[in-house]
Chain A
Amino acid sequence: MRAIEGRADPAVVSLPPDPVIVTGAPRTGVRLLASLLDAHPALASGPDLPILTTMVQQWRQIDGELGANHERHYGVTRAASREAFRAAALKLFAPRLERAGKRRFVVHSFTAAVLLDSFAALFPDARFVLMTRDAVDIARSLMRCHWRDARGEPLPYTRDAAAAARAAAQFTAVAALATPPLAAAGRLMFLAYEALCTDPADAMARLGDFLGEAPPAPRVRAASARLVARSPDNPHPPLRVGPVDSASLSRPRDPGNSAT
Chain B
Amino acid sequence: MDAARRGNPIFIGGVPRSGTTLLRVILDTHPRIHCGTELRVVQALTALWASADGTAQPLLADAYGVSPERLRRIFADLLLAYLRPAWQASGKPRIAEKTPFNVLVFPELRSLFPESPLVHVIRDVRDVVASRLERDRAAAGGAPVDGPALAALRAREWTAVMAIRRRIRGNEELARNYFEIRYEALVQQPRETLEPLFGFLGETFDPEVLGFHRVARAVDGTEEWSAEAVRRPVFQSSCGRWRSSLTDAEHAAVLHVAGRELSELGYASD
Contacts and interface: CB of A to CB of B under 8 A. Distances in A.
Interface string A162-177: 0000000000000000
Nearest to A90: B74
A73 interface: yes
Interface centre among A4, A87, A230 (most CB of B within 10 A): A4
Contact of A50 (B56, B77, B95): B56
Interface in B165-201: none
Nearest to B82: A76
B140 interface: no
Contact of A74 (B9, B39, B44): B39
Interface in B29-68: 36-37, 39-41, 44-45, 48, 51-52, 55-56, 59-60, 63-66
Contact of A96 (B44, B65, B223): B65
Interface stretch (B84-92, B126-134, B232-240): B84-92
Given A9-B84, A46-B63, A73 B36 contact: yes
Contact of B37 (A73, A92, A227): A73
A75 B44 contact: no
B7 interface: yes
Nearest to B47: A58
Given A51-B51, A74-B86, A96-B64, A84 B59 contact: no
A251 B81 CA distance: 50
Closest 5 CB pairs of A and B: A4-B7, A95-B65, A84-B81, A75-B85, A7-B87
Given A7-B95, A49-B59, A50-B56, A92 B64 contact: yes
21 contacts: A1-B4, A4-B4, A5-B8, A5-B80, A7-B87, A7-B95, A49-B56, A54-B51, A55-B48, A69-B40, A74-B39, A74-B85, A75-B86, A81-B82, A84-B78, A87-B78, A91-B70, A92-B71, A92-B74, A93-B64, A95-B64
Nearest to B67: A95
Contacts of B37: 69, 73
Interface of A: 1-7, 9-10, 46-47, 49-51, 54-55, 58, 61-62, 66, 69-70, 72-76, 80-81, 83-85, 87-88, 91-93, 95-96, 98-99, 227, 230, 232
Nearest to B61: A95
A5 to B, nearest CB: 5
Main secondary structure of the interface of A (DSSP, over half): helix
B84 A7 contact: yes
B59 to A, nearest CB: 5
A232 B59 contact: yes
A62 B4 CA distance: 29
A70 B39 contact: yes
Given A5-B9, A51-B56, A69-B223, A74 B82 contact: yes
Contacts of A69: 37, 40, 223
Contacts of B80: 5, 10
Interface residues of B, number: 50
Given A69-B223, A75-B89, A84-B78, A4 B8 contact: yes
A232 B85 CA distance: 37
B106 interface: no
Contacts of A54: 48, 51
B218 interface: yes
Nearest to A66: B40
B70 A95 contact: yes
B60 to A, nearest CB: 7
A51 B56 CA distance: 7
B95 to A, nearest CB: 7
Contact of B78 (A6, A74, A75, A85): A85
A7 B87 CA distance: 7
A230 B87 contact: no
B162 to A, nearest CB: 28
A10 B78 CA distance: 11
A228 to B, nearest CB: 10
A230 B59 contact: yes
Interface centre among B40, B56, B84, B220 (most CB of A within 10 A): B84
B44 to A, nearest CB: 6
Given A7-B88, A230-B63, A88 B74 contact: yes
Given A1-B4, A7-B83, A92-B64, 6 more contacts: A4-B7, A51-B60, A69-B37, A73-B36, A87-B81, A96-B63
